[in-house]
A and B are shown apart, each in its own frame.
Chain A
């Protein structure tokens, strides 16, 4: 516009050059200088036009320059790292920035009953009805045709931004659908008890495996970092499921009790067995020793006995009677009746005698 404006003034300018008019000369000079200013301004505008191509790429992102719609560079060089960069202004180049290092996440609630995060936090979820409405409540069907609720959160980051941005209209939706599919697929070949209690980690790993297979196959250009899976029995059946859990706990307790009984009985038996055999060994040693000692005594006594058997017998007997009579608690001496007739004795035995009592002898 300013250009055209200058031209219109330029054309009549040569005409007043001929007359030596100080006023018109001053006008011409003024026009000259204003034209110079316009040129400088134009130059600055061109400069500004080209310098508008500077842009920064942040630490968490990469950028791609599209020149006439085609990415500039080959392979890895397509991606510009963080820092200052320059591109031609808009109609030629276009800068597309892509968040790359930051971890992204998607949730799958396709197998969860109708609820929201707020309801869940405040504990004001709608009560469970007698059945599940397929339009509202999501669930997964397990291999043994049980219904469970399961949901997952997947964390990933972008590895190949070219695929992620230029090949998918909404790549995060695609990832989410892969996660949905993985939950259903995995639930379809796990039994209900495996999903809920027996093999929770195995279920999660299988979901993760399926998601990474799908995303790899679909070439979304992401790397999966982590996957969290939560599974519960239908709320309608929570009581009966918790009863199963407590029955299982109870069974384990009974079995543990039985095992501790087993340990106790076996160690007691072992102790008893060793005491029995030890006692036998002790008996044996004692018996052998006593009989050996006896034999030695016998051999010692034999010559004495053989020299005078009856004297020996009497002496030995009397020797023996001494300690015997000392040990005996009650000693009753019955002298012979004067008439030489045998005496009659009556014994009265008490059932629990503090000490044996002898009946007084007949006079």
Chain B
């Protein structure tokens, strides 16, 4: 009897486990699920946890990954507002937001089918938005005129609103431009333009450098000349001051101009005959006048 009770308990546990397997299912943190009743989507489960259901064939559960999935469209060529061909590739982070809406839209809830729909929406949204903007909105040194973010937002809005009108159960988490390009033959012209720009730069550096160097040198020369001229002027002024100082002494000489005259002449004589001079004189010049009175054999006058 004890054994029978044991058997009953074990049997009951097995039945409970079997029933749980039939009636209960889990939705993981990263998933959303939709429950179909006789093939018709009836319940939408967005929160993770354990849920009850009627066993097959009444209710059936379809689970989807609700994490953000990455999708990149084709690198396709679009015409900008100013008639430039621009290749644009965008990346999209999308996720299933409403499994009930998502499930019947795509055969068996296939993400591939969803992505191909997304791609066609992206293509039209992209060409429409790119066509509204000139190339200067994509690349611009002026941050105010650059509309990179605005373009991304416009594409996102366009896709988002299309998704909403179609009620796909898909939401866009983010959208950005992944790649920008120019048609292959255009890159060649760009290279030619870049080369000529570089050459302009080269010659500018060359001539600018020389001109600038000339300027620096000329300014230096001028400043040097100015410094020396100022110094000369200062020197003249200093000498003038000396003369003015000397002029205060001059009245002393006026006591006897004759003496001064005499002294000056002597000093001039001393200076002029200082070097490399040849002096020719006769006996009348003092002190050689002493010779006059020498006894000579010449007949005296």
Contact = CB atoms under 8 A, between A and B. Distances in A.
Given A142-B139, A146-B190, A169-B65, A345 B29 contact: no
19 contacts: A147-B194, A173-B70, A189-B148, A218-B68, A247-B201, A250-B206, A255-B209, A261-B220, A265-B221, A269-B224, A283-B242, A284-B245, A288-B245, A291-B249, A327-B274, A329-B277, A330-B278, A330-B279, A332-B281
Contacts of A192: 194
Contacts of B256: 302, 305-306
Given A130-B188, A132-B187, A298 B263 contact: yes
Counting chain A CB atoms within 10 Å of each CB, the highest count among B91, B258, B283 belongs to: B91
A168 interface: yes
A56 interface: no
A69 B63 CA distance: 12
Nearest to A147: B190
Given A167-B67, A214-B176, 7 more contacts: A169-B68, A257-B213, A261-B220, A284-B245, A291-B246, A329-B276, A336-B282
Interface string A162-178: 00011111100110011
A66 B28 contact: yes
Interface string A325-336: 101111111111
B165 interface: no
B40 interface: no
A259 interface: yes
Contact of A277 (B174, B190, B234): B234
Interface of B: 3, 7, 10, 26-31, 47-50, 65, 67-70, 72, 75, 87, 91, 93, 135, 138-143, 146, 148-149, 173-174, 176-185, 187-188, 190-191, 194-195, 197-199, 201-202, 205-206, 208-210, 212-214, 216-217, 219-221, 223-225, 227-228, 230-232, 234-236, 238-239, 241-243, 245-246, 249, 252-253, 255-256, 258-260, 262-263, 266, 269-270, 273-284, 286-288, 291, 296, 298-299, 301
A41 interface: no
A contacts with B: majority SS:
helix
A329 B239 CA distance: 35
Contact of B68 (A68, A69, A174, A237): A174
Contact of B139 (A189, A265, A328, A333): A189
Contacts of A79: none
A259 B216 contact: yes
What are the 9 tightest A-B residue pairs by CB atom distance, in nearest-first order?
A: A251-B209, A284-B242, A273-B231, A280-B235, A269-B224, A258-B213, A68-B50, A143-B141, A262-B220
A248 B191 CA distance: 21
A299 B263 CA distance: 12
B149, B197, B238, B296 interface centre (most CB from chain A within 10 Å): B238
Interface stretch (A99-107, A150-158, A315-323): A315-323
Contacts of B30: 165-167
A185 B276 contact: no
Contact of A185 (B91, B148, B214, B281): B148
A311 interface: no
Nearest to B224: A269
A189 B70 contact: no
A69 B298 contact: no
Contact of B141 (A180, A185, A191, A254): A191
A332 B173 CA distance: 122
A188 interface: yes
A324 to B, nearest CB: 5
Nearest to A140: B180
A293 to B, nearest CB: 10
A328 B238 contact: no
Contacts of A358: 278, 280
Contacts of A173: 70
Contact of A251 (B197, B205, B243): B205
A334 B283 CA distance: 7
A139 B182 CA distance: 10
Contacts of B187: 131-132, 139, 147
A287 B249 CA distance: 12
Given A254-B210, A276-B235, A131 B191 contact: yes
Contacts of B205: 244, 247-248, 250-251
A70 B51 CA distance: 12
Contact of A324 (B235, B269, B291): B269
Nearest to B7: A7
B249 A258 contact: no
A305 B259 contact: yes
Given A68-B49, A313-B262, A358-B280, A110 B230 contact: no
A212 interface: no
Given A70-B48, A134-B75, A274 B231 contact: yes
Contact of A333 (B69, B214, B288): B288
A261 B177 CA distance: 54
B195 A240 contact: yes
A3 interface: yes
Contacts of A190: 141
A60 interface: no
Interface in A68-88: 68-71
